[in-house]
Structure 1
Amino acid sequence: MSSTASSTVSDAIDGLPPFDPALAPGAPRSQTRRPPPPEGGPIMSEMRTSLLGAALVAIGPITMALYTPAMPVLAEAFGTSQSMIKLTLTAYFAGFALTQLVCGPLTDAFGRRPVTMAFLLLYLASTVVATFAPTIEWMIVARTLQGIGASVGVAVSRAIVRDQFTGQTSARIMNTIAMMLAIGPALAPTIGGVTLELFGWREIFWAMLIYGVVLIIVTQVCFRETNPYIDRANLRPRVLLHNYATLLRDPRYMQPSLLVGFGIGTIYTLASVLPFVLIDHVGLSPSQFGFGMMVQSGSFISGTIVTGFAMRRVDAMRLLPFGMTGMVVAASALLASLTLYPPTFLGVMLPVGLFAFSLAMSLPSVTSAALQGFPRMAGAASALMGFLQFGAGLLGSLIIAALGNPLLGIILVPPAMLFVAVASYLLLGRVNARRSAAVGTG
């Protein structure tokens, strides 16, 4: 059954010819008549792009995860309820997700570097406000602005890769960025907890402040502008809507983007339900839960390392069938384990670990493929991909909350999201193949 699934995915991949932006639905004529970027090598080296992209992409998850250990303490510090403290996390997510839809086009219109600097300065200012927030209302405002400032990381980190690299090199850099996405959230809660215990909750924001200052200095010194198609017309409402409409209705973009969106969205969904399943149903203590989550983060990191070594010998797209097959097997195992047997740590976390490993194997190739055909709107394409990831995670979390039963939620929702991710990739692959055949015969 696994080999059949692998074969089906391989067929879908092999049927995809290189994407021509001129064939994009409704592509404006001015877009196809612009001159190509200047000939020559990349503006920044592969190593510099990898490290800069990893540092930028980490600011979002680190800012979220550093803060979570302090949430119970903040309720007492501000004399407010837990629901108000949870609102600070919701405010951060809202600012982070929604602003990506604006941040990406801003980098297409004004350039990657100046927009990155502006958003990082906003992040720095809002972190200062959070550090000295006198009331919960000030904290909510500060966290919202932090999310807005941090949103630049995801959009720009992928766009600077697309601006300079394609193919196997692009996939290698995306693999490094994906590893940082795993390491940041894995280590940040531990660092936040130790900081809270040794110093206090305000010092957690001092840590964010230090990271922000270092990132601004690195951006100022090391970041060279990579966007060869800077055009302020990208901010006109009509052009903005046209660009997003082009992306949403083009299967060459949506095929890999939905796989990435539902895949990473499943990570966010699991984060919202695993504490309740492992602590309330399995019986772990909070500290045991923290160590237990290393199965997921460790599996993801292992997957990125294995993928990095494998890409030295084979094309990244050849790893995708194995990654997608692993995701289907993991979803089936989680569904079967919790349906047939009482919940246990291994019954939950072994499938979750397999899923994380398989997702890490899949991400570099599909992330690179999604951005490949849109050099003139790479910022918008990267931002929309980030929004789809958060949107899928938010949708999954809301469905589980509506079910009112965490155990039922983890049985139904994460496996369904993974099945949808793989099915959408295969179905849109067929659409791409038919469309390419029609263009070829025409």
Structure 2
Amino acid sequence: MTKKQERTIILLLGALQGIGPFSTDMYLAAFPSIAADLKVSIAQVAYSMSSYFVGICLGQLLNGPLIDRFGRKVPLLLMLGVYTLASVGCTMVTSVEGLIMLRFFQAIGGSMGMVANRAIVRDVFPADRLAHVFSTMTLVMGVAPIIAPTVGGFVVVSFGWRAIFWVLAGFAFFVTLLVYFLLSESKGKDRSISLKPQAVMADFYSILRNPSFLAYTIVGAMNTAGIFTFISNAPFVYMELLGVSEQTFGWIFGLNAVFFVVGSQLNRWLLKYYSSQTVALYGLLVQAVMGVALVACVILNQLSIPILVALVGFYSLCLGMIGANAIALAIRPFTKNTGSATALMGSFQMGAGAVASAVCSYFYDGTAKPMVIVMTGVAFIGLLAIWAGSYRKPVTA
């Protein structure tokens, strides 16, 4: 593969991966507007985020076996179509229940992008370059979480919250065209892969029995839980507790995303000198320290905009260092059922995000305490998992 072909694949997969951040981050600034229009509370609107996480979780379990059986490209195009139609549907809802349901189907379609791009990377790049490639993809898709909240705030103010979902539909359609015209099939159909429920469950079970996969999947899941705990609670903490405007929130949230991208690129440099496991371990240690500092600030009633931006910023920087390494270490042992392995890992990740988001909503007390406690807790669980993983040798499957 030439350097030009490699760059094209990374750029395309980065755009595909950008659907996820746009889907979650872009409508955050619209939470107050959605709540007012649909005559519900912001906490109820937040359940549309939880339903999206649940849809991502279940959708990956569906889509993983599909791309192992039918190849990568055709299932990807079909599910991008599902995402686009669900996005259009979100522009027409008249109740929060309708929004919650359509966000679920939007996630079912969008989850294919997460499964397919990881599987394609595993198809076309050697195992020792996976973490580096995932970090490069983060640089490409890192534009999404930086600009999405800002664009979302502008769209809400200028055109109303429903216009956000028209933008998402348009972006998905554009990515669909890129996939159709520029992406070559990286792995053909495999008729030995059965889609019967019993066979699919047997494949998933065999993947879970790989101790290295399980340990690093937990690390990745806790990483995602930390990200989405902040994402789903940031509108309330910044706009209601700290009183920032919708547009200012977009800029502040974008700054946190800059930290995430910087962390992913710092990871690329560190990987020249240290193993993926070592980089992820120290990222988790710093993340845990930032979490403890956040808890202390909330308990002592010292939380302010500069303190929150700084501590969450360095927490986010560590997220960028941990994520790519956790994915690479988890899927490295697999060659045949790569789609199912990436789907299972992604499902764990989004499931953890959904649970963390729901836990924060359940323990809502009008303060930032639920958010910072969960963010700290998942960092410590990740530390335990990576410690366990350090004693496990990967078993190729």
Alignment match, 2:145: 185
**1:212: how far off?**
1.9
Letter in 1 for 2:384: A
In 2: Cα distance, 1:180 partner to 1:328 partner: 27
Alignment match, 1:149: 109
CA contact 1:179–1:304 (8 Å) conserved in 2: yes
**1:80: how far off?**
4.6
**Identical positions, percent:** 26
Superposed CA RMSD? 3.1
Q: Which moved more, 1:145-154 or 1:62-71?
A: 62-71
Alignment match, 1:216: 176
- The one of 378, 384, 388 aligned to 2:338: 378
Alignment match, 1:409: 370
Give per-residue Cα distances to partners, 1:252-309, cap 9 Å, x unaligned. Answer: 1012111111012111112233444444555545544443334421211111222234
The answer to whether structure 1 residue 348 and structure 2 residue 308 are counterparts is yes
- The one of 333, 345, 352 aligned to 1:392: 352
CA contact 1:108–1:231 (8 Å) conserved in 2: no
Q: Which moved more, 1:144-153 or 1:342-351?
A: 342-351
In 2: Cα distance, 1:346 partner to 1:202 partner: 32
In 1: Cα distance, 2:191 partner to 2:3 partner: 19
**1:106: how far off?**
0.8
In 1: Cα distance, 2:287 partner to 2:53 partner: 26
Give per-residue Cα distances to partners, 1:391-424, cap 9 Å, x unaligned. Answer: 2222223333333333332342211110010111
The 1:42/1:229 distance shift into structure 2, 3 A limit, reads: farther
In 2: Cα distance, 1:136 partner to 1:225 partner: 39
The answer to whether structure 1 residue 81 and structure 2 residue 36 are counterparts is no
Task: Tell me the TM-score normalized by structure 1.
Answer: 0.79
5 Å matches for 1:259-338? Answer: 259-282=219-242, 284-311=244-271, 316-338=276-298
Query: In terms of Rg, which structure is larger?
Result: 1
In 2: Cα distance, 1:422 partner to 1:89 partner: 27
The 1:174/1:149 distance shift into structure 2, 3 A limit, reads: same
Q: Which moved more, 1:124-133 or 1:187-196?
A: 124-133
The 1:75/1:363 distance shift into structure 2, 3 A limit, reads: closer
- The one of 384, 391, 396 aligned to 1:423: 384
CA contact 2:56–2:350 (8 Å) conserved in 1: no
Task: Tell me the TM-score normalized by structure 2.
Answer: 0.87
Alignment match, 2:166: 206
In 2: Cα distance, 1:201 partner to 1:282 partner: 22
In 2: Cα distance, 1:127 partner to 1:340 partner: 42
Alignment match, 2:206: 246
The answer to whether structure 1 residue 112 and structure 2 residue 72 are counterparts is yes
**1:117: how far off?**
0.9
In 2: Cα distance, 1:329 partner to 1:174 partner: 25
The 1:426/1:171 distance shift into structure 2, 3 A limit, reads: same
Alignment match, 2:23: 63
Letter in 1 for 2:381: V
**1:44: how far off?**
9.4
2:151 is paired with a residue whose SS is helix
In 1: Cα distance, 2:36 partner to 2:240 partner: 24
The 1:413/1:130 distance shift into structure 2, 3 A limit, reads: closer
Alignment match, 1:96: 56
The 1:197/1:246 distance shift into structure 2, 3 A limit, reads: same
The answer to whether structure 1 residue 174 and structure 2 residue 145 are counterparts is no
Letter in 2 for 1:116: L
2:149 is paired with a residue whose SS is helix
Unaligned runs of 5+ in 2: none
**1:168: how far off?**
4.1
Alignment match, 1:14: none
**1:103: how far off?**
0.8
Give per-residue Cα distances to partners, 1:1-22, cap 9 Å, x unaligned. Answer: xxxxxxxxxxxxxxxxxxxxxx
Letter in 2 for 1:361: M
Alignment match, 1:195: 155
CA contact 1:323–1:362 (8 Å) conserved in 2: yes
Give per-residue Cα distances to partners, 1:63-112, cap 9 Å, x unaligned. Answer: 233334444444565x5534775554444333232111111111111111
In 1: Cα distance, 2:216 partner to 2:151 partner: 34
In 2: Cα distance, 1:200 partner to 1:334 partner: 34
CA contact 1:43–1:164 (8 Å) conserved in 2: no
